[in-house]
Structures are given as structure tokens and as C-alpha cells.
Chain A
Amino acid sequence: MTALAALIRRDIRIALRVGGGALIGVLFFLSVIVLMPFALGPDLPLLARLGPAILWLGALLASLLTLDRLFMADHEDGSLDLIAMSRQPLELSCAAKALAHWLAAGVPLIVATPVLGLLLNLDLAATAAVALTLLVGTPALTFTGMIGAALAVTLHRGGLLLAVLVLPLSIPILIFGVAASEAAVSGPQSFGAPFAILCAVSLISLVIGPFAAAASLRQGLD
């Protein structure tokens, strides 16, 4: 097994086994969605109209919550230094960790979406559209958030700063994700245009994220 594959497997195992692991993101997602009808009132048509936006916001906040676990635990026990010193380029190691994080924390969010769509009175088309845009958008959220996670890893009280740094970069992903979901459900705008831009943003973040994160980690660890 190659070193990168071993790194991915290790990260997924840790995320799934450690208490309060990646699955806590799904619980947070559920909590946010459940809170919405209490705040908005049980008006079902209103919830159906706002549904895609609420699901996207919940997914964004849930990713943000689990993001600081990306590097923090490894930094605390010293394995981040070992990963940085290994023969694998740090960029590839960061990409592998982000991929593992997405598999462990992002994919459960997508799987939970149909169930939560029921809570928000979304029909099948809307739920499918939201799930599809989340499938394309959550990697973007993870790989963009990775930049903030790497910047904040060496700070002691870095958690809140991480959110402040990552949110402006995540706003375009949110905008296009919701635009694509809403276009699929209603409205004259096309689904294709915002969806294509969302795919493009995801692909760009797949490249820029690891490079920026590796640069930040190098500066932070030495």
C-alpha cells in the first residue's frame, strides 16, 4: 500500500473511531435543520421554499465545525511533523488528509440530506438537486477550509480565527450551490450554469487548497 493510501486509511479510521469524530458533523447538521422550523414557524410551504438554502447553510456550518480537527490532533501529538518530514510532498499529504476528511465528514452529510429534506418538506426533485450540489460542493468546502485549518493549526486559540478566515472564501461556494439547487426546483434560471461554476470552484480548490495549506504548514511548523 502506498504511503498516501495508508495516510488516507489512517485518517478515516481515526475520524470514525475517535469519540466525537467526524460523525458529530452529521449530528450538528441535524441540529441546525431541526432548529430551523422552530425559528421560522411550521409553515410548510415556507420551509419548502427555503429548504435548499437551509440545507446548504447547515452543511457549511457542519463542515466548518469539523474542519479544525483536520490538522489539530496530528499537530498536538507530533505526527504532523512526521508527515511533513516524510518523503511524500507535503502538498500531496495535505490533499490526502483533506480527501480522507471529506470521505469521513462530508459524505455523511450528503447521505443525511434526503432524510433532512423530509423534515423540510422538500420534494424528490429538490432533495436530489441539493444532494447533487452538495456532492460537488462539499469537496470545495473541505479543500478551501483546509487553507484556514492550516493557518490556524499553530495558534492556541485558533478555532474562531479559523471560521473568520474560511467564511469569506466559502461564500462563493454557498452562493453557487444554492443557486443551482433553487434553479433545479423552480425559477427560470438554468441549473447548468451555476452547477458548472460550482464544479469549477471545486476543481480549483482541489489544486489551490493543498498548495496553500502546505505553504502555511511549512511556515507554521518551523
Chain B
Amino acid sequence: MMRLTELANPTKFLALTARVLPWLTAATAVVLLIGLYQSLTAPDDYQQGATVKIMFIHVPNAWLSMFVWAVMSAAALGTLVWRHPLADVAAKAAAPIGAAFTFCALVTGSLWGRPMWGTYWEWDARLTSVLILFLMYLGLIALWRAVEDPSRAARAAAVLTLVGAINLPIIKFSVDWWNTLHQPASVMRLGGPTLDRAFLIPLLVMALAFTLLFLTLHLAAMRNEVLRRRVRSLQMMQAGQKAA
């Protein structure tokens, strides 16, 4: 907790991330390359053939789309409850990244569905709830842009983020609660993963790679947002001086 309050100072945050970001980028690139190599050399599935390898992109993107909303919800609590100065920067920076992950999950899933299920889209519970999540991401981004003052936009967006967090357990359990076309959980379940190790290892490595990718992009976007707010303050001060 002391670390978080120290980081509340934007200048310290910029200094810390300037040191950390190159290493994080390198780590992301390395893990991504390892993951891609493992994915490409994984064996073909006996039923799906080589198409199963879409899973190595689709599933990490889907996991991250929900993880990013959870990160934004934590940031929203930071804004509303603790008034942490960088919490709203974190929330605003994460929204487009989360929307991109959700979009990629939907598109890769759709491309996987065509050969597997015979259709690009199906209105079952999992796909519908993820589409709703995507719409909520877009609504959230629209809300951020609708209010001029970033700190006021932050509080409105924080409320919407927390209300939207109810969608996360619905997505996770949608395959259990309804009779869906999308397959049930094979990794994060009570009995342990049912996926064979030959597929599980590349999947987990790719999940780690995408998480590092999110971390890198998020910190970079937070840096940009802090700098953007400084530019805005300077512009407002300049406009005030001109008017005076």
C-alpha cells in the first residue's frame, strides 16, 4: 500500500515507468515469441486439425477482455473510494485496450466458428454476453470522451465500470448456466484443466505473453494520459493568460 501511495505522484510514476517499460517490452517480446513458437509446433488436434491453433490466440484474448474490465473495476474503486490520483488515469488508459482484446476475441472466435460450427455467429449465451461486454466497453469510451473535464469524467466512468462488472460472472458461468454452442470451461474449472499438456502449455504461455502485452500497453498508455493532462493544463493556463 505504501508503494501505491508513493506512486500517486505522477512525476514519480513517470520516472518509474520510464525505467521499467523497456524491460517490460523486452519481456513481452520474448514470451510472445516463445509462445508463438510453441503454438506453431503444437500437434494437430485429431478432430480439428490445425484449426485448433486459433485457440492459442482466441482464449488469451477472451481471458484478457474480462481481466481488463476487472482491472478497470479495481481502478474505479480507487477513484471512488480512495480518491487515488492515478486510478482514473489507469481506468481511462485501459478501456481502449480492453475493447481491442474483446474485439480480437470475437473476431478470432468467429473465424474459428466457421470451420468448426459451420457458422460465423450464433446467439448463444457466451457469445451474446461477450458482445454485450464489447458494447459496454464502447459505451464507456464514449462516456470518457463526452465529459470535458477528465476528473469529472473519471467519476462517472467509475460508476459505469462498477455497474458493468456484473457482466463478468455472467460471461464466466454462461456456459454452465445455459445450453450453449460454445464449449464449457476446460481450463479454469473445479476439477482442474481437462486440456492435454501439449495444448495447455502453449496456451498458458500465450496467456502470459498477452498479459505482459496488456501490462506494457497499459503503462505506456498511462504515461501518455498523464502527459496529455499536463498539456491540457498548460493550454488552459495559456488561454487564461491570453484572456487576462
Are A and B part of the same complex? yes
A residues sitting closer than 8 Å to B (CB atoms) are 147, 151, 154-155, 157-158, 161, 164-165, 167-169, 171-172, 208, 212, 215-216, 219-220
* Nearest CB on B from A73, distance (A): 20
* Nearest CB on B from A141, distance (A): 15
* CB neighbours of A216 from chain B (8 A): 155-156, 159
A-B interface, 6 closest residue pairs, ranked by CB to CB distance from nearest: A219-B155, A168-B135, A164-B139, A168-B132, A165-B139, A168-B136
CA distance A172 to B169 in the complex (A): 14
Asked whether B135 lies within 8 Å of A167 as measured between CB atoms, the reply is yes
Which of B17-25, B142-150, B233-241 lines the interface with chain A? B142-150
* Nearest CB on A from B82, distance (A): 15
Given the known interface contacts A168-B139, A219-B152, the answer about A161 and B146 at a Cβ–Cβ threshold of 8 Å is yes
CA distance A219 to B164 in the complex (A): 18
CA distance A161 to B146 in the complex (A): 8
In the complex, which residue of chain A has the Cβ closest to the Cβ of B162? A212
* Nearest CB on B from A214, distance (A): 10
Interface bits B144-176 vs A (CB < 8 Å: 1, else 0): 001100001001100110111001001000000
* CB neighbours of B147 from chain A (8 A): 154-155
* Nearest CB on B from A127, distance (A): 26
CA distance A220 to B159 in the complex (A): 11
User: Which of A154, A155, A167, A215 is in CB contact (< 8 Å) with B80?
Assistant: A215
Asked whether A169 lies within 8 Å of B143 as measured between CB atoms, the reply is no
Asked whether B160 lies within 8 Å of A165 as measured between CB atoms, the reply is yes
In the complex, which residue of chain A has the Cβ closest to the Cβ of B79? A219
Find the residue from A167, A168, A208 having the highest chain B CB count within 10 A: A168
* CB neighbours of B143 from chain A (8 A): 151, 161, 165
Asked whether B156 lies within 8 Å of A151 as measured between CB atoms, the reply is yes
CA distance A158 to B153 in the complex (A): 13
* CB neighbours of A147 from chain B (8 A): 159-160, 163
Q: Which B residues from 124 to 141 make CB contacts under 8 A with A?
A: 128, 132, 135-136, 138-139
* CB neighbours of A212 from chain B (8 A): 159, 162-163
In the complex, which residue of chain B has the Cβ closest to the Cβ of A209? B163
Asked whether A158 lies within 8 Å of B146 as measured between CB atoms, the reply is yes
* CB neighbours of B160 from chain A (8 A): 147, 151, 165
Find the residue from A155, A158, A169 having the highest chain B CB count within 10 A: A169
* CB neighbours of B80 from chain A (8 A): 215
Asked whether B132 lies within 8 Å of A171 as measured between CB atoms, the reply is yes
CA distance A155 to B143 in the complex (A): 10
* CB neighbours of B162 from chain A (8 A): 212
CA distance A220 to B136 in the complex (A): 20
In the complex, which residue of chain B has the Cβ closest to the Cβ of A165? B139
9 A/B residue pairs, CB under 8 Å, sorted by A: A151-B159, A155-B147, A164-B142, A165-B143, A168-B132, A172-B170, A212-B162, A215-B159, A220-B152
CA distance A129 to B139 in the complex (A): 33
* Nearest CB on B from A94, distance (A): 13
* Nearest CB on A from B210, distance (A): 25
CA distance A165 to B137 in the complex (A): 10
CA distance A171 to B167 in the complex (A): 11
With A158-B146, A161-B143, A212-B162 known, 15 other A-B pairs at CB within 8 A are A147-B160, A151-B156, A151-B160, A155-B146, A165-B139, A165-B142, A169-B163, A171-B128, A208-B163, A215-B155, A216-B155, A216-B156, A219-B159, A220-B152, A220-B156
* Nearest CB on B from A98, distance (A): 15
* CB neighbours of B132 from chain A (8 A): 168, 171
CA distance A172 to B156 in the complex (A): 23
* CB neighbours of A158 from chain B (8 A): 146
Find the residue from B156, B162, B164 having the highest chain A CB count within 10 A: B156
Q: Which B residues from 105 to 137 make CB contacts under 8 A with A?
A: 128, 132, 135-136
